[in-house]
Amino acid sequence: MFLMRRHVKKMETLSVSVACRVTILIGAILLPVLLTSCGKKGQDGGTVAGEEKTAHGNEGDFLDKDAKPDERKYLVAAKPFFIAIANQQYAEAYALLSSYAKARMSLNQFTPAEERAEFARNESNPLTNVTAEQFADLMKYVEAAHGAPRAPKMLHVFSTDADVLNRRSAEQFGAVDSMFAIGAMPDSIPGDIRRASLRGQIHTELSPEDVEKAANAQGISVDELKKDENFDPYFNLKVVIVEEDGQLKVGYFEFLPPSMMD
C-alpha cells in the first residue's frame, strides 16, 4: 500500500490544473463505483466538550479518533464548519470563515474546472469580499455536482508541517504533499498564520434523477441500489486552518469529488 501511494504521488507531480483534469476523467469513468464503495466509513472520534446530539446523532463522532493530542485543537476548530455545511446552514458556515477566506474565493474551490485554461481563468478572476448570500449561491455548484449535504462522514488532520503548508518542502514528494494539503490556496494568505490542513468527507443525498443515473450505470434498479449498504454518495472537503487574532479559523477550503485515494 505504501509503494502504491508513492507511485500515485509520483504521477501526481502534474500541476494542480492538470491534476484536476485527471481526477475528473477518472471520476467520470468510475463514478458508479465511487458512489457505492469509496470513502472511509464514519470514524468514532469520541466526544468533545459542548458537542450536541442532532438528527445525525453525535456530530463529534466523525472526528479522527487517532489524532495526535496536538492535532485535536485543529479538528475542534474545523468541526463547526463541517457540521454547518453538512446541515446546509451556509450562513453559519460563512460566519466561521476567516477574513482571508471571505476576501477572496475562486469558483474552482466549489467546482474544479475541467480544462486548464478555465482553471487559470477562474483563479485570475476570483470573487472578492464575498458575502454570505454569495457563498450560499456558490454552494449550489457543490450540491449540483454531488448532491445535497446531509451529514458529516469523517475528518482528519492531513498536515501541520509549515513547509508543506507554504509549498517550500524539500522532501522528495513535498510538492505533491502541498498540493494535497492546500491545493490552490493563494499566496495572499500569509504563510505565518497557516496552522494545519485537514481533509474530510460529507455524506450527500442525490436527487432522484441522479440516483436513477447511478443505478442505470450499474445495470440495476433504483430499489436495488438503495438497498446496497455500500451506496454512500459523498464529497471531499479540504480546509486549511489559520490563526487570526488569536483564534483558529477556516482560512481556505476546497470542495472536491470522490477519489480513488479516499
pLDDT in tens, 24-33: 333 433 344 4
- pLDDT of 10 higher than 50: no
Domain count, the chain: 1
Is residue 191 a part of any domain in this protein? yes
Question: Which class for 258: exposed (0-12), middle (13-18), buried (19 or more C-beta within 10 A)?
Answer: buried
Mean pLDDT of the chain: 82
* Structural contact between residues 45 and 65, judged by C-beta atoms closer than 8 angstroms: yes
Is residue 41 a part of any domain in this protein? yes
Q: Cell numbers 450562513 label which residue?
A: 91
Structural domain range at position 232: 2-256
Neighbour count for residue 28 (Cβ, 10 Å)? 10
Is residue 261 a part of any domain in this protein? no
Q: Give the end-to-end CA distance of the chain in Å, rounded to a whole number.
A: 13
What stretch of H or E contains 128? Answer: strand 127-128
pTM of the entire predicted model: 0.77
Is residue 112 a part of any domain in this protein? yes
Is residue 57 a part of any domain in this protein? yes
pLDDT bracket for residue 59 (50, 70, 90): low
Is residue 20 a part of any domain in this protein? yes
Angle between helices 208-218 and 16-37 (to 10 degrees): 80
Q: pLDDT > 90: what percent of the chain?
A: 65
Is residue 221 a part of any domain in this protein? yes
pLDDT bracket for residue 40 (50, 70, 90): very low
Is residue 222 a part of any domain in this protein? yes
pLDDT bracket for residue 60 (50, 70, 90): low
**Residue 31, pLDDT score:** 43
What 3-state class would DSSP assign to 26?
helix
Residue 253: phi, psi to the nearest 5? Answer: -155, 160
**Residue 161, pLDDT score:** 97
pLDDT tens string 233-248: 999 999 999 999 999 9
